[in-house]
Each structure stands twice: as C-alpha cells, then as structure tokens.
Structure 1
Amino acid sequence: MNKTSSSREKMITVKFYTNYLSRMMMPNLSIFIAWMLISFLLPFFSVDQQVIQQMEQGVLTVLLPLLIAYTGGQMLAPERGGVVGAVAVLGAILATDIPQVFGAMLLGPLAGWLLYRSDSFVSKVKSGYEMLVRNFIAGALGGLLFLGSYFLLAPLFNWFSLGSYQLVDYFVRQNVLPFIHIIVEPLKVLFFNNIVNHGLFTPLGIEAAAVNDQSVLFLIEANPGPGLGVLAAYLFFGSKRNRTNAAASIFVQAIGGIHEVYFPFVLLDPWVLLGPIVGGFSGTLIFQFLGVGLRAPASPGSILAILLNTPASMILGVLAGIVVSTVVSFAIASVLLKRKTNTENEERKMPKMKKVTEIVVACDAGMGSSAIGASILKKELEEAQLTFPVRYQSIYRVTDDPALLVITQRELAAIAQKQTPHAQHYVLDNFLAADEYAPLIQELQRREQDPQQSLQIESANSQGVSTIIFLYTGKKRGSQTMAVEILRKMARQQALSLTVKKMAYEGQALDPTAVYILPKELAEKCPIPDVPLLVVDDLLTTDAYRQLLTEGVDYVFDQS
C-alpha cells in the first residue's frame, strides 16, 4: 500500500514538472505559426534558400530559447524573472550551435525561483531601498547564471547531444529502424528533433539516397503521423481549452510542417508519449515493409513537402505509413486521455462543503492568472447572489485553515494539498474559463440553501438577539454605513437571519435585546447603558464581526 502511494506521489511530481514545461511552451506556439507563414511567403519574394535556412536557424536557436526562458522565469517571478531567465540562457546560446530549448526550460525556471527566494531578503531591507536592492539582485543573478550557462552548462548540453547522436546511430547501424522511435520520440518532445533530424538522419539519408535514389531515413523524424494522432486525440477528448489549441495545431503541423506544436500537448501528460512512440514504430514498419523513402530531406516536415520529395511510384506507400502512424498514435493517446478525463470528472465531484469563510485563488506567483481567475469568480458569485471574500495569492504563501477554500489549477493540486492539508480544495483546468466555476457555484448555493449547513448563533438566539445596531453621533455616519454592508454580507454568507442597521445615539432608547457596535472614541465620550456592546478600534474590521457571528453574545460581553 505504501509502495503504491509512493509511486502515485512520484507520478504526481513528474506530471507537475512536465505541466510546467508545457506551460512554458504554450504561450510561444505562435512563433511556429509565424514561421510557417514566413517560410511559405519568402519564396515568392525570390529569397535564396540559404537565407531562409539562416532565418530558420535564428528562430530556433536564438528567438525560441530566449522566449521560453523568459516565460519560465516570468511564471515564478513576474516582475524580473523573465529578463533574468533570458540573460541566463543567452550564455548557452552563444557557446553552442545547437538549439538551447532544453537549456531554456532549465534556466528560465531556475532564474525565476532564485528571484522568488530573494524576496525574503528584500523584505528586511530598509524602506526606500527595496527597488535598488531588487535590481541589484536581478542583475547579479543574471550575470552569474550567464557565466554558469556559458562555461558549465553549454558543454554539458553538447555532451548530451553527442550521446544522443551515438545512441540513435546504434539503432540505424543495427538495422532495427522501428525501435529507434523509443529514443527519437522522447528526444523530439524535449525539442531535440532538429538535432536528431539534421544532425543524424539527414547526413545518413543523403549517403543512402546517393546509392538508392531514396532513403527511408528522411521519414523517421519528418513523419507527421505520430504528432497528428496526439493532436487529434486532444481535439476529441481533451479539455475545452486544449481542443481549441489542438485544432489550430493540426493545421500548423500537417500543412506547415512545424512538429514542435504537438510537443507541449505530450508534456501535459507524460503517458501520452506512448502514442507517438508506437505510432512512429508502426509508420516506420510500413515504410520498411513497402520499401519506400524520400529523394531528399523534407524540411519543414509537412505532408506537402514530403509528397514533393517522394518518387511517384512510392506516394501511396508513404501515405500509407503516415496514415497508419496517425491512426495508431490517435488510438493510444485517446485511451489515455479518456482515462484521464474520467479521473478528472471524478475529482470534480466535490463532497459537501463545510463552512467557508474565505476563498483563495492560488497560482505559482500569485499575481497573473490567479488575479484574473479571482476577478472572474467574484463576478460569478455576484451573479449567483453569493457573498464570499475572494483574494488571490501564491500557493506557497497560503496559510492553512479549515474554513478556507483554495482554488488551483490541476498542475498545482498536489502542492496545494500539501501546503493546506486542512483547507477545502477545488481543482480546475483553466483559471480563465468561467464555465469551470459552475460546479463550485452550485455547491456553494446548495450549502447556503441547506439548513443543515447553515450556521446558527446559538448563544445569541438563546437570549433572543436578532438585531445588530451600529451607533453614531452627529451627522458623521459614513463608516457606520459601510460597516452595516460588511456585516450584512457576512450574515448572508453564513445563512443567518439578522437585522443589521445603524442608529443615532442622541436621545434614542436602546433595546436591551439588541447587540450594539460602536467605535472606541465614541464609547469613551458617551455613557452607554447596560446593553450587549461590542467596542471596536475600527468599524471596518472583519475579524471581530466574524467572531461575533460564530461565538455569539458571550463574546460581546467579554469584550464590554
């Protein structure tokens, strides 16, 4: 039992990190769409093919790693993390000739995490010097990470690339090509696809094509089938947000030949990688069985580019391999996604909630998506006529409380459970999708309407107290008006039937069955009869009112 629990815990951790990698890539998918359009239009302007290749090199080796590192750093430290992450990966970019996408995925989050940890030091700095210290720390970290990536990490990345080349080369020389996808597909998902394709399959394929006029090696990485199968599975069985992205990505990969668009979808769930592996295996098996190949490399690897480089007699065979790999990849990925969807549906069926006094929408940094999500939730609560305090915060800073409702996205669910084990949790896929809050709104409405769930002020009711009055003197009663609204909302939130109002103190008879609230300065100036009385320093306080509603009149007497 412990072994099973440990394995599940490890899998949750793996999913968290792969989801994080995916979220670094998703905002940058537009790069591939832009490059597809550019590469399609450039030939019409008579641009030399070598110049086009240089542009592609710049996009893949410079622009893409910089943006990924920026996004990764920004996710953890929104103010300066992106800049420091970009500076850090620049060292690895300048030190090597290979695309440093993998390095960006490491250095971007590292930069953001280090900046996030530095906040505890900045909080101790004398007031007025915070900005200076923050900028100094960001600059120092950026410089140190740049030097580290240039002198230490770049050679490590080169070594990893060389090892990958030798490993893949072994499969080629042993003539067991279908099994090569066990290595190729994971490398592709980690954005080593261009290294594998142009650094290994293209040189070996050119040698084979010089002898046989065609080579199947040109189809190993260029085959769009495994990726199309994954995208089609997400289109039919993914979440609403992922379906929209998958629809656009299918066109980009099939027609534009930009395979990178499906990598983030695989990273969303590591098990889905089985689809491309078996799909690629099946496609290459068909290519070998039918003896087909391409005359030259297909770059980019679109279906159109593949067919243009296919001998006329082999077109049907190449299409057969692509179709088989697509179908197999789709079938396996669909089974895995449907199982995941069923699990998510089960998780979404929440148990009946206990008392909720506050709602926190929590993300990594507690500023970006959670802020927008909190705004959407407030609007949904208002439309449902529910009044709950809603705030947004970093999940790492949320304080555990049984009466707290924590809302997180799925990739942070495990961390949320560890950070706030006694709080109540609601997990969704996307903070920005208003429809995902619907089950939560329904549950909160049910709790409000269920008398068994309603809170009662036992000690107050036992003494016949049903009215709470804010006292004021003269014509200044603005704070009392606001306080009345605050307390009314809190009473409705806890399903309490109370009359809350304000009243002038001068010349008014006080009701001994009501509870009176007044500010401290008024209590010192005016003699108050022997009535249930709560004196507060600030009329807009909430803690005192919450304690009054939950603990009753006994608490009021203690404070008199």
Structure 2
Amino acid sequence: MATATTTGTTTSTGGRSQVARAHVQRFGTFLSGMIMPNIGAFIAWGLITAFFIEAGFTPFGPLGGFGQNAEGEPYTGLVGPMITYLLPLLIAYTGGRMVYDVRGGVVGAIATMGVIVGTDIPMFIGAMLMGPLTAWLMKRIDAIWDGKIKPGFEMLVNNFSAGIFAALMAIVGFFVVGPAVLAFSTAAAAAVDFLVTRGLLPLTSILIEPAKVLFLNNAINHGILTPLGTAQALEEGKSILFLLEANPGPGLGILLAYTFFGRGAARASAPGAALIHFVGGIHEIYFPYVLMKPALILAAIAGGMTGIFTLTIFDAGLRAPAAPGSIIAVLAQTASDSYIGVILAVTAATAVSFLVASVILKASRDKGEGDLTEATSRMEAMKGKRSSVSSAVVGTSGGADTGGTSARELADGGPVRHIVFACDAGMGSSAMGASVLRNKVKAAGFGDVKVTNAAIANLTDDFDIVVTHQDLATRARPKVPSASVVTVDNFMGSPRYDEIVEAVQQRNGATVPAAPAADTAASGTASGTASGTASEPAAAAATGGPATGGDAPSGGAILTRERIVMDGGARDAAQAIDEAGGLLVAAGAVTDAYVASMHEREASVSTFMGNGLAIPHGTNQAKDSIRSAALSVVKYPEGLDWNGKPVTWVIGIAGKDNEHLAILSRVAKIFGNKEKVRQLDEASTADEVLELLGKVND
C-alpha cells in the first residue's frame, strides 16, 4: 500500500510554533473540559456566598458558616465545605472520567481527597492534576491483567485494585502533590499581588487578548485564573481575576466599529455577532473579524487594559467565574460592592476598543470587505474544531437546508482520524456507505483513518467528518457541532466521497494521490482485488460485519434463484417495496409486519443508494419480524422512478442481529464495481444474476 510522504528533517519555525500552539490548545481544552461542566456548581457556591455569609445580602449563620449554635459550637455552613471539598472533588471526578470513564472518575476523586486534606487552601489545581493522573495510571494498571482474570473473579479484582490504588494515590497526594501545589499556588498568588500593588495588572491584557483569538486562553483562564480567583474570593468575597478574560467589552467594541465603519459582509454580520457575543457570551464570534484585520488586536488589548485598570481603581470583582462571558453572567456574579466598578469596566473597555478599532478601520483602505468566510475558516483551523456559531453568523454553514460543509471548509481543520456514516438506525444505508468510502480512503493511502457507521441518535461530538443523507442533516448537526458534516443524496456513488478523500489528503498532510473515482472500487487497488479476496475484511470491518471466511449468516443461503425477479412489475417505490418484501415473506424469511416497516423506513429517509440501486429494509423496531436472513432481488429493465431517482435494481434485505452488516458489505462491494454493475445490467436470466451476486451467500 502506498504511504504518505513525510516532510524533510528540518522543520520551519512556523511549523514548530503551530505544533506548540496546538499542544497548548489541547491542554487548555482539557482543562476547560474539567471546569466547564461544573460551572453550575461554582454559580451555586457564588449565590450561597452572596446571600448567606456575614456580609451577604441575607446573612444566615447556619448556611453562611458564621456564628454559633445553642450549644456554643460554630456553624459549619455550606460555603466552606463546598469550596474545600465539593468543587475540587467534582473537578477531579470530571477529569478522571474524561480519561477512564466512571472508574477513572472514582479513583481520581479518592486520590484528590489526599491533596485536599493535606493543604489549607481550595485545591482546584491539585484536583485538575490528581484526577486525570490517577485515572490514567489506573487505566495502565488495568491493562496489565486485561483478559487474564479467571471468570467469576472480575468484580473482586476490579474493585480491590481500584480501592488499593486510589488509597495509595491519596497518600501520595497528601505527602507529595498537595505541598507542591500549595507552593505553586502561593508563588502564583504572590505574583498576582505584585502586579496588583504596582498597578501592572492591566499589562496582562497584552498576553490574554491575543491568546483568546488564538484559542490559547483556556490554559491561562482555567489553569491559573479560575483556581487563584476562587481562593481569593474565599478570603475577600470577590476576585478581579475572574474578569481578566471574561470581560465582553473589548470584543463588543470591535464589533461595533465594524457595524459603523466596516463594509461588505463584515459590516452586515457585525450587529448579529455583537448581540451573540455580549448577551450570549460566545466570545469566539468576534475572532474572525480580528483575524481578517490583525491590527485590530491592538483595539482588544487597549480595551482589556482599560477594563482591568477600571476594576483596580474601584476595587471591583466577581464572586465566582462568569461562564459564558455574557454580560448577564458577569452581572449575576458581581460582588455586592462592585456593581459600579464592573459596569464601568465593561463600558470603558467597550468604548476604548471601539475608538481604537474605528481609527484602524477608517485609516485602512480595506474597511472589512475582505473575505470573512476565509477568516472564519482560519479561526476554526486554529481552534481545531468547527465553530457552528461563527459559521452561522457569517454564512458558511453550507446551506440552511442541509447544514452541509462545503468542499473548501471540508479541507480545513486538523488531521482526520475518524469518519462516521450516520443514518436513522445506523445499519442499512450507512453501513454500505461506510464500506464504499473506506475502500476509497484506503486506496488513497490512509488505512489508519477509521470509517464506521452509526445511528444519528448515538452520535457524539468526537468525529472529524460525519456523512449523512441530506434529509437527516438537521438531526445530525446538533449532535456534532465540532465535525464537518457532509450531506449526500445517495450512499453508493456520491461525488462528495472524492471531496472527502481530497480533504483527508490535505488535512493529514499526505502527498499520495487518490485513486480515480471510477477505479477505486472496481480495481481494488491498495485494498484488494476485484474478486474481493483482500478488501472484504476491510469493508466488513468498516461496517462491523464479519469478513469473508468468517461466521456466515445463519439460515442457509441468503439469496436463491427463487427470490430473483428479472422483470419487476412495480411502477413506483411503494409498489417496488411491496414486490421485494413479498418475495421475502413468500420465502418465510419475514412476516408481513416487516414489509410494513420497510415502508416506514422509506418514509423517514430514502434507501436509494446510487448506481441504480435501492435497498429497502425494515426499521430497528421490526427485528422481531425477521425469521432468517435473506435477500430478494428485483430488476426493472426499463428503469423505475424511486422518488425522483432512477433505479434498475431493488434489493430487499432482512438480517437478524448483525447479519445484515455482512450482507450489506458484500452488496456494496458488488455495486461499487462498475464492471459488475454493467454485467448485472446485461444479465438476462436469474441464474446469471445469482452467479454475479452469489458472493452474498459466502
């Protein structure tokens, strides 16, 4: 198999910086993944603190943790235990679960208790360290005896190994990690105090504002500012650190400048972007406007510095993190004595950013009529994910009807590692499409790229490219906001498959040319021969079915001469489904209920596959109506109108359990081979068709 060429031994400075930035982004995203799911807990703590502490809106000792009860014992309250135990443990559990599911979350939380009790400050940094680390080590330990435990002893080994290792890590946390994190936190707090006392804190905007546009801010915000700010808020009731990055003023000023002094698409889209940014708190929406005119980063820095300077003058801050960075969230977390300072900080930041951006735009010959779509694509490439919000505002979503991704957008982004075909049930159409595209991707030299299929209901946002029928795009898109969504009108011969292969070449940095579309499946180059001796295992792997020579579907021959009709009598798709389904019923393979479910499937999404083929099959709920795996084949020599698509062959499919996957893999291979399709079209007898399609019985 051809392999992708590599770059030379020397790497450019730009390449090194991009790699370093990507590592920082991934690190920041991981930190954010531990903090953001628990923001609700931070908000709850902030509200309890605001209302019930001694200086709160409605002081109440039993909840605020001040005063004594009738026996003279001090109240514990909620404020202290929540920030000391609950919040760090939630962070540790979330981080551990990200690494090793629930088992990782449990051992991570246990180990973090050692860090918590070994120090006297909130251990957020310790939790972000111990949770994932303990989970990762637990995963490696489990791998040592994976598959070696005698049946009946799995639960015993799993429970005791987790308990023993977590206890040991808690001790390590108490004696080693806790003191180290305490020393780091003390040094970081001293650095912040140094900046504050000398009036240098506004200078942090020189780092923070460019970092936001480059998506490097998560490592700073969630790795340093949030833990330090929370510790400061516990002592003083508020912290300025929560607003260093979350202030929406700098971005709002830039968008307002585009609204008044920009041109073209940038000016037209800026008001909507400003609303989403300021009220919705999605700051990334203004990043493409800065990338389109990089000098505007000066406006963001000036606005950020002004906001921080205003906060220091009024000694203002927030009680807890404001996430997302919406003005609503900012005001909700503002300390009771800081409303004037916070409001003035946001207003001043907006005004200064607006003035600087306006000067830059008015002095420039290009006032924003540049390619905002290209800037958005660059922003998404830096982010490493697709931005559904930015794409929607600037009109790069690929069309409102389908939500698909254009060829240019498809080529942008990070390396492609996993492509998934999604259909209603994740079986019929998607399984065949996955088989076809996998062969194309392998032929282009990318055997390490996974091509699988799934039901839309089971999609998760960890795929790079999602392929789905155009009628299902509106259901798929919300589940995969970070993926490129490719819509097709058939799963067998869509020209978009070649676009996907080209995108894989560009995004994975390969120089191997893709095999021509007409020859990929037919020749079997790099993935097998035309007879399928080498490529069927790959195709079967893509669909989850067994390869040739593995376990054959049960119930005898899948296709027999009696279930092949050479001159179908149907005149439309509904009649054709009845005709193909009737053959399955007559063979005793299915009941009439299965035929009814074939119509249900067609009503939800078309089973037209391209290359003159339709494969009507039942829904998931109709599995009980299948008695044995079987195929029926009906030819329409004059062609059949399948809801606007020309069809010559209708193949009815029924398979128990996962048998249909192996069947579909073989059908896909045959109809993906243009020479085989030509021979089928020229066949005049059922025996000839059976000989050509007989591989489905293997």
| TM-score normalised to structure 2 length | 0.47
- Counterpart of 2:431 in structure 1 is 389
Query: For the residues of structure 1 that align with 2:354 and 2:115, how far apart are their CA atoms?
Result: 36
Q: Aligned residue for 2:29? A: 19
Q: Offset at 1:163?
A: 1.9
Aligned to 1:497: 613
The aligned counterpart of 1:547 is 666
Relative distance call for 1:76 and 1:558 in structure 2 (3 A) is closer
1:69 and 1:104 in contact (8 A); partners too = yes
Q: Per the alignment, do residues 193 and 125 of structure 1 end up closer, same or farther by CA in structure 2, a change over 3 Å counting? A: closer
Contact 1:387–1:493, Cα closer than 8 Å, also in 2: yes
Which amino acid is the alignment partner of residue 20 of structure 2?
Answer: K
Check 1:476–1:330 CA distance in 2 against 1; reply closer, same or farther (3 A cut): farther
Q: Is the 8 Å Cα contact of residues 467 and 488 (structure 2) preserved in structure 1?
A: no
Q: Does 1:300 align with 2:319?
A: yes
Conserved 8 A contact 1:95-1:154: yes
Q: Are residues 245 and 293 of structure 1, via their aligned partners in 2, closer, same or farther at CA, if it must alter by over 3 Å? A: closer
Per-residue deviation, residues 254-307 of structure 1 (Å, max 9, x unmatched): xxxxxxxx99x99xxxx9x9999765532344578xxx444xx76737769979
Question: Per the alignment, in what secondary structure is the counterpart of residue 138 of structure 1?
Answer: helix
Is the Cα–Cα contact under 8 Å of residues 85 and 112 in structure 1 kept in the other structure? yes
- Matched with 1:73 is 96
Q: What is the CA–CA distance in structure 2 between the aligned matches of 1:447 and 1:403, rounded to whole Å? A: 13
Aligned partners of 2:491 and 2:610 also within 8 Å = no
Distance 1:20 1:33 in 2: 21
* Distance of aligned partners of 1:491 and 1:141 in 2 relative to their CA distance in 1, 3 Å threshold: same
Deviation at 1:156, TM superposition (A): 0.9
Q: List aligned pairs for 1:52-451, cutoff 5 A.
A: 55-118=78-141, 120=143, 121-172=145-196, 174=198, 176-179=200-203, 189-193=222-226, 195=228, 221=240, 224=243, 226-229=245-248, 247=279, 279-286=303-310, 292-294=313-315, 300=319, 309=337, 320-325=344-349, 339-340=375-376, 343=380, 344=386, 349-351=405-407, 377-379=422-424, 387-389=429-431, 400=448, 404=452, 433=478, 440=485, 443-445=487-489
- Determine if contact 1:229/1:330 at 8 Å carries over to the other structure: no
Report the CA distance between 1:66 and its aligned residue: 0.4
Q: CA deviation at 1:177?
A: 4.5
TM-superposed CA distance for 1:174, in Å, is 4.9
Partner of 1:9: 19
Q: Which residue of 2 aligns with 1:213?
A: none
Which deviates more from structure 2 when the two are superposed, residues 185-194 or residues 31-40? 185-194
Show CA shifts across 1:496-551 (max 9, x none). Answer: 437999xxxxxxxxx9x99xxxxxxxxxxxxxxxxxxxxx9999354355335524
Residue of 459, 473, 477 corresponding to 2:589: 477
Q: Is the 8 A contact 1:84 1:139 kept in 2?
A: yes
Instruction: After TM superposition, list the pairs within 5 Å mapping 1:26-37 onto structure 2.
Output: 26-37=36-47
Q: After superposing the two structures, state which structure 1 stretch, 181-190 or 79-88, moved more.
A: 181-190
Give 1:27 shift.
1.9
Aligned equivalents of 1:133 and 1:434: distance in 2?
37
1:83 shift after superposition: 1.2
TM-align CA RMSD:
6.7
CA deviations on 1:125-155 (whole Å, 9 max, x unpaired) are 2333222222223223311221221111111
Q: CA deviation at 1:245?
A: 11
Aligned to 2:4: none
Change (3 A) 1:478 1:409: closer
Distance of 1:200 and 1:537 partners within structure 2: 60
Q: Which amino acid aligns with 2:66?
A: V
Give the 3-state SS of the residue equivalent to 2:78 in structure 1. Answer: helix
| AA of the residue aligned to 2:478 | A
How has the CA–CA distance of structure 1 residues 102 and 338 changed in structure 2, closer, same or farther, with 3 Å as cutoff? farther
Deviation at 1:446, TM superposition (A): 5.8
Q: TM-score, normalised by structure 1?
A: 0.57
The worse-fitting range, judged by mean Cα deviation, of 403-412 and 87-96 is 403-412
- 1:504 corresponds to: none
Structure 1 pair 85/158, CA: closer, same or farther in 2 (3 Å)? same
Asked if 1 retains the 8 angstrom alpha-carbon contact of 2:91 and 2:124, the reply is yes
What percent of counterpart residues are identical?
A: 22
Residue-by-residue CA offset, 1:191-217 (whole Å, 9 max, x unaligned) = 5556468669989xxxxxxxxxxxxxx
Report deviation, 1:47: 1.3
Structure 2: distance between partners of 1:353 and 1:177: 39
Query: Could you list the per-position Cα deviations for residues 307-350 of structure 1 after superposition, in whole angstroms to 9, with x for gaps in the alignment?
Result: 9647xxxx9887544422356689999x9999456644579735
Indicate if the aligned counterparts of 1:455 and 1:494 stay in contact, CA closer than 8 A: no
Counterpart pick for 1:47 among 41, 54, 60:
60
| Alignment match, 1:253 | none
Contact 2:31 2:223 in 1 (8 A): no
- Asked whether the equivalents of residues 165 and 196 of structure 1 are also in contact (C-alpha less than 8 Å), the reply is no
Could you tell me how far 1:70 is from its partner in structure 2? Answer: 0.9
For structure 1, list consecutive stretches of 5 or more residues without a partner in the other structure.
204-217, 251-261, 355-359, 364-369, 393-397, 418-422, 502-510, 515-535
Deviation at 1:449, TM superposition (A): 7.5
Q: Is the 8 A contact 2:311 2:342 kept in 1?
A: yes
Contact 1:84 1:111 (8 Å CA) reproduced: yes
Q: How far apart are the structure 1 equivalents of 2:105 and 2:459?
A: 22
Task: Say if 1:306 and 1:381 are closer, same or farther in 2 by CA, change over 3 A.
Answer: closer
What is aligned with 1:519?
none
Question: Alpha carbons of 1:113 and 1:471: their partners in 2 closer, same or farther (altered >3 Å)?
Answer: farther
**1:9-62 CA deviation, whole Å, 9 max, x = no partner?**
332232222222222222211113323443454356641465399633322221
The structure-2 alpha-carbon separation of the partners of 1:445 and 1:183, relative to structure 1 and needing over 3 Å to count, comes to closer
Note if contact 2:202-2:305 (Cα within 8 Å) is conserved in structure 1: yes
> What is the aligned residue count?
452
Tell me: CA distance 1:228–1:135, structure 2 relative to 1, closer, same or farther (3 Å): same
User: Higher helix proportion, which one?
Assistant: 1
Change beyond 3 A, Cα 1:436–1:293: closer
Aligned amino acid, residue 112 of structure 1? A
Are the counterparts in 1 of residues 461 and 482 from structure 2 also a CA contact under 8 Å? no
Q: Over residues 162-187 of structure 1, what are the superposed CA-to-partner deviations in whole Å (9 max), with x where a residue is unaligned?
A: 22133334435655453366799976
- Contact (CA 8 Å) 1:21, 1:105: kept in 2 or not? yes
Q: 1:340 to 1:450 in 2, by over 3 A?
A: closer
Cross-structure match for 2:504: none
CA distance, structure 1, for counterparts of residue 166 and residue 117 of structure 2 = 15
Decide whether aligned partners of structure 1 residues 63 and 541 sit closer, same or farther in structure 2, where only a CA change above 3 A counts. Answer: same
Sort the Cα spacing of 1:555 and 1:69 in 2 relative to 1 into closer, same or farther, 3 A. same
1:118/1:201 CA distance change after superposition, 3 Å: closer
- Partner in structure 1 of residue 544 of structure 2: none
